[in-house]
């Protein structure tokens, strides 16, 4: 593993490998699991940059898979991994170590009461799976409500609560899953007199329909505070308080999935803080490990006790692993010491100003939205009709890559013109400016070329 400032050349593949065989080998031996692979061979990464084998430097505006909030190869993370892997890496799942208990306590200290009970896992899908199983066991119900634009993971329960993609062709999903309309202010499907989103009427109607379909076994509502794969959609202020009331009226638990928004990215430690709600269960993942596989399911002592009394079981191979727990402790240390919530707010303001300036210069930019260092840019063919621009989104993504910027466009039908922008919290103002400059240039080049 290369530490920050490593002199290792980014352009020297191992001598026993033929560089020309990389893509043929990939085509022959890898199972394809999503959109096409980025046509670059990444050799190393440091800070906000990726380095390819042929020597190109790419500014990473997605923090890897929206995860590396401290940048790549952060020296303190590198030091923690080196130290911890040499002392204690993995244990029998029924054993405990100090990093696990310490991380659980430290996480609880960052959260409002009554969130204090922590289960440490590996991925976002796994933490959502654990939360859904807990909610079903505690409530006695099995029905789960989630946004129509949701993404919660690829395991059974999480996938059943995911509507943005991947539902067709796999047979029946878990029974009792209901989609809640996404409250999208840019594209209001239930508009008030001035054309604004009437989210309260939308929410009332949605639960009227859910009540009509429910068999009386509603267990939980699992939602993201800011939908990411759904197009970086931030529900209006007041929405989550109203949603929580709907849950309370029906004996449901509110589960908030903060895989991408948790731990300072939005300018506060947790995105739910803006809305004055406290979820019954909180799930964390991506940002908690800063790029390493670490996730958490967090709830109250009361809910944990009820689950335990009913025989709650979520016994996995890497539950409570000490190596990644030690990494999580280092992540919290850096976030707190370097005041990265405040930094994300300030850099997010710079990023948003840059994106709004781009919107002023390019008619194809229909909307800029988001919070802190999680921003969305939606491209449209016409600002009046808001006709989507999937093809242009793909073209701009390719041009950004050519110019040295890795961008992530939502690669779903109808959303292919929406960029998710999530640079590391440790990036510099100059790097934010560089990313905006490259995006501006890519848009100008693609619009000038036409054919979109």
**One digit per residue, pLDDT tens: the chain, 452 residues?**
333 344 344 445 565 678 789 999 999 999 999 889 999 999 999 999 999 999 999 999 999 999 999 999 999 999 999 999 999 999 999 999 999 999 999 999 999 999 999 999 999 999 999 999 999 999 999 999 999 999 999 999 999 999 998 999 999 999 999 999 999 999 999 999 999 999 999 999 999 999 999 999 999 999 999 999 999 999 999 999 999 999 999 999 999 999 999 999 999 999 999 999 999 999 999 999 999 999 999 999 999 999 999 999 999 999 999 999 999 999 999 999 999 999 999 999 999 999 999 999 999 999 999 999 999 999 999 999 999 999 999 999 999 999 999 998 876 666 668 999 999 999 999 999 999 999 999 999 999 999 89
Question: Any idea which residue has 């959609």 for tokens?
Answer: 233
**Catalytic position from the list 260, 359, 375, 395:** 260
Q: Is 151 a catalytic residue?
A: yes
pLDDT at 15: 57
How many Å apart are CA 353 and CA 253, to the nearest integer?
38
Residue 441 burial by CB count (10 A; 0-12/13-18/19+): exposed, middle or buried? middle
**Catalytic position from the list 46, 60, 198, 224:** 224
Q: Is 23 a catalytic residue?
A: no
pLDDT at 414: 65
Q: Is 189 a catalytic residue?
A: no
Distance from the Cα of residue 152 to its chain's centroid: 9
pLDDT at 176: 96
Domains belonging to the chain, first-starting first, are 19-66+341-449 (3.90.1150.10), 78-337 (3.40.640.10)
Q: Is 286 a catalytic residue?
A: yes
**Catalytic position from the list 136, 151, 352, 431:** 151
Please give the model's pTM, rounded to 2 decimal places: 0.95
pLDDT at 415: 67
Cβ neighbours, 10 Å, residue 206: 21
Q: Is 199 a catalytic residue?
A: no
**Catalytic position from the list 117, 136, 246, 286:** 286
Cβ neighbours, 10 Å, residue 154: 14
pLDDT at 5: 40
CA torsion, ordered 228, 232, 238, 243, to nearest 10 deg:
-30
Q: Is 129 a catalytic residue?
A: no
Contact 439, 358 (CB under 8 A): yes
pLDDT at 1: 32
How many Å apart are CA 175 and CA 161, to the nearest integer?
10
């Amino acid at each position: 593993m290369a530490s920050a400032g490593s002199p290792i050349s980014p352009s020297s593949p191992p001598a026993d490998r033929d560089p020309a065989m990389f893509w043929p080998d990939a085509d022959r031996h890898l199972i394809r699991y999503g959109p096409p692979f980025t046509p670059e061979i990444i050799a190393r990464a440091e800070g906000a940059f990726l380095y390819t084998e042929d020597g190109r430097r790419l500014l990473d505006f997605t923090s890897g898979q929206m995860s590396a909030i401290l940048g790549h190869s952060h020296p303190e993370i590198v030091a923690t991994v080196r130290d911890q892997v040499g002392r204690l890496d993995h244990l029998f799942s029924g054993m405990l170590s100090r990093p696990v208990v310490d991380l659980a306590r430290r996480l609880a200290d960052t959260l409002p009461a009554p969130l204090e009970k922590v289960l440490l896992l590996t991925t976002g899908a796994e933490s959502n799976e654990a939360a859904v199983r807990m909610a079903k066991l505690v409530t006695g119900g099995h029905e789960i409500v989630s946004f129509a634009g949701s993404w919660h993971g690829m395991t059974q329960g999480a996938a059943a609560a995911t509507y943005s993609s991947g539902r067709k062709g796999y047979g029946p999903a878990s029974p009792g899953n209901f989609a809640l309309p996404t409250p999208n202010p840019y594209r209001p499907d239930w508009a008030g007199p001035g054309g604004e989103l009437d989210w309260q009427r939308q929410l009332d109607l949605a639960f009227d329909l859910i009540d009509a379909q429910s068999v009386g076994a509603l267990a939980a509502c699992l939602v993201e505070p800011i939908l990411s794969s759904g197009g970086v959609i931030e529900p209006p202020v007041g929405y989550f308080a109203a949603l929580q009331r709907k849950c309370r009226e029906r004996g449901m638990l509110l589960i908030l999935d903060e895989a991408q928004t948790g731990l300072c990215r939005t300018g506060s430690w947790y995105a739910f803080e803006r809305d004055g709600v406290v979820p019954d269960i909180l799930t964390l993942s991506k940002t908690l490990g800063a790029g390493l596989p670490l996730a958490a399911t967090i709830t109250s002592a009361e809910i944990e006790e009820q689950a335990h009394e009913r025989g709650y079981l979520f016994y996995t191979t890497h539950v409570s692993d000490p190596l990644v727990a030690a990494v999580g402790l280092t992540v919290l240390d850096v976030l707190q010491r370097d005041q990265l919530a405040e930094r994300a707010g300030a850099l997010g303001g710079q990023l948003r100003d840059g994106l709004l300036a781009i919107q002023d210069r390019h008619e194809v930019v229909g909307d800029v939205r988001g919070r802190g260092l999680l921003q969305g840019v939606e491209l449209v063919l016409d600002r009046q009709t808001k006709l989507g621009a999937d093809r242009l989104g793909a073209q701009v993504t390719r041009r950004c890559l050519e110019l040295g910027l890795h961008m992530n466009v939502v690669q779903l039908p109808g959303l292919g013109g929406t960029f998710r922008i999530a640079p590391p919290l440790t990036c510099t103002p100059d790097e934010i400016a560089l990313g905006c400059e490259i995006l501006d240039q890519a848009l100008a080049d693609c619009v000038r070329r036409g054919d979109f």
